[in-house]
Structure formats: structure tokens, C-alpha cells
Amino acid sequence: MAEESYYFFTQKGCDGSILLDDTSSFTGEKTARPNNNSARGFDVVDRIKAKVEQVCPAVVSCADILAIAARDSVAILGGPNYKVKLGRRDSKTASFSAANSGVIPPPTSTLSNLINRFRNKGLSEKDMVALS
């Protein structure tokens, strides 16, 4: 799987923006239609980040933690193991409207719809399965 497969549907890459809570200047992506009651585990990432910060403060981004967790989850479930390039920077903003724009596949998507959406981003069916 290509490194660029850690891809985006709303912004410019794997930047951890889905982890951001609402602020006075933007509404986050957690409660957008395709993510609400679908994307989970935010508290787990928060706990991992807190432990990593104790060992090496301000070095590892939440976006890298997400990428590593995705890779490890795939490997643990018997899928391929692949190298993860590190160095992502966490987003400082999120876009509720972009997340709701229809580009993120909703959890009710058909297989055909998912394949087409990932293909439109340059990803194969194998990439889609690994990333999902």
C-alpha cells in the first residue's frame, strides 16, 4: 500500500483533524453525519497521546498516532504489515461542513459506493480494506 494512502477525504491529508473538539472558531468533524456514531475511540487516542507526551513531549503528533494505530489494527487482524512514515503535523482546525459535504463515505455506504469513492481518491480495493 502506498504511503500516500493515508489519505484524506476532507482536507489535505492524515492530520488528525477528526480528533479536534468544537471551539469558538469552528465546529469539529466528530459529529458530522458520516462520523457521528461511526468514528469512535477518541478517548483511546487521548490516552495514548498523554502517555507518549510523558516520554517525548511535543514530538509525536496525534495524526501519527492514528496512522500507527490503523497499521497495527490491520496487522493484528491478519492483514498486511507496512511501514508508516512519521512526521505528520496535527491540524489546528477542522471542517464540519467539509465532513458533511458528501465526500466522506457514510457508514451506510454500499460496497460499490465505497469502492468508487476510494478509487476516485486513487486508492485500490486493497487500500480501502486496509484503511477501513
> Is residue 4 marked as binding?
no
34 marked among binding-site residues: no
CA–CA dist 77, 61 (Å, integer) = 24
Q: Which three cell numbers stand for residue 38?
A: 461511526
The owner of cell 467539509 is 98
Q: Is residue 73 marked as binding? A: no
The torsion of the CA quartet 64, 65, 67, 69, rounded to 10 degrees, works out to: 160
Listed residue (17, 4, 28, 21) closest to 90, CA to CA = 17
15 among the known binding-site residues?
yes
Q: Residue 102 carries which side chain, given as an amino acid letter?
A: G
Give the number of other CB atoms < 10 A from CB of residue 56: 8
Confirm or deny that 105 is annotated as ligand binding.
yes
CA angle 98/99/102 to nearest 5° reads 85
Binding residues for Ca(2+): 13, 15, 17, 29
Which residue ranges are tagged as binding site? 13, 15, 17, 29, 105
| Residues contributing to the annotated binding site for substrate | 105
